[in-house]
């Protein structure tokens, strides 16, 4: 079962955000202790004594995208491509993220295509962009818009296409508890947005050989 969403709003990496002061590591660990106690367990029992420290460390990894810039990752391009000006497609980029509503994971794959104009970027850089934005509290719609916004703004290609397929644990672990439901989001700029045939080509290439 697929849920199709085409987000209209574009949210770039440089959208204005309220300035926040991060709590200390000690404050973060104290908050974990509070949540353990609120859930009904004893934060002082042997198995949970080191859990606040472990959770704080894990959060530093899971949400490391806040400390990295997609613009910096995409800054270096290659001009010598032998005259190549057709589509560049990287598909099946695995990612995990966390829903900003319930802070539970959603996991899936991203597909990115673009038509070069001012050079190409290393293929691994596109995967890194997905990683940067996914390692933040997210909705799938915002994740799609942020990825395409960073690529479009930095590379200035003739067009960008992004498709994300994901399964959300907030639908399987809680709430309606429906397993196997995937959500698909797509967004297009430039030639992909203006020419439906290019959208079809992008989708066809994603599915080719499967």
Binding residues for Zn(2+): 99, 102, 170
Annotated catalytic residue within 11, 99, 167, 169: 99
Q: Is 102 a catalytic residue?
A: yes
Told to judge if 101 belongs to the known catalytic residues of this protein, a careful annotator would answer: yes
Q: Known catalytic residue: 98? A: no
Binding-site residues, in ranges, read 99, 102, 170
Catalytic residue among 29, 98, 140, 146: 140
Of 14, 26, 27, 101, which residue is the catalytic one?
101
- For 8-45, the three-class secondary structure string (H helix, E strand, C coil) is CCCCCCCCCCCCCCCCCHHHHHHHHHHHHHHHCCCCCC
Q: Which of 102, 153, 167, 169 is catalytic?
A: 102
Residue 199: both structure tokens together:
């959208």
Residue 33 in contact with residue 61, Cβ under 8 Å? no
Active site includes 168? Answer: yes
For the chain, how big is the Rg over CA atoms in Å?
20
Cβ atoms of 114 and 81 within 8 Å: the answer is no
14 tagged catalytic: no
**Catalytic site residue from 168, 187, 198, 199:** 168
Return the active site residues: 99-102, 140, 168, 170
């Amino acid at each position: 079962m697929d849920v199709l969403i085409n987000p209209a709003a574009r949210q770039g990496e440089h959208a204005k955000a309220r300035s926040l002061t991060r709590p200390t590591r000690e404050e973060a660990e104290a908050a974990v202790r509070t949540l353990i106690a609120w859930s009904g367990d004893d934060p002082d029992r042997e198995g949970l004594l080191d859990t606040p420290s472990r959770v704080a460390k894990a959060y530093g990894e899971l949400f490391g995208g806040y400390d990295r810039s997609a613009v910096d990752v995409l800054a270096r391009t290659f001009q010598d491509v032998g005259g190549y000006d057709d589509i560049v497609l990287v598909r099946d980029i695995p990612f995990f993220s966390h829903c900003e509503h319930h802070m539970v994971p959603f996991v899936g794959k991203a597909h990115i295509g673009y038509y070069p104009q001012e050079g190409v970027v290393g293929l691994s850089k596109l995967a890194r962009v997905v990683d940067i934005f996914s390692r933040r509290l997210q909705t799938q719609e915002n994740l799609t818009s942020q990825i395409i916004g960073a690529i479009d703004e930095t590379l200035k290609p003739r067009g960008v296409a992004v498709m994300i397929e994901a399964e959300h644990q907030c639908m399987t672990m809680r709430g309606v508890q429906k397993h196997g439901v995937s959500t698909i989001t797509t967004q297009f700029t430039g030639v992909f947005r203006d020419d439906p045939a290019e959208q079809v080509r992008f989708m066809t290439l994603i599915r080719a050989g499967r």
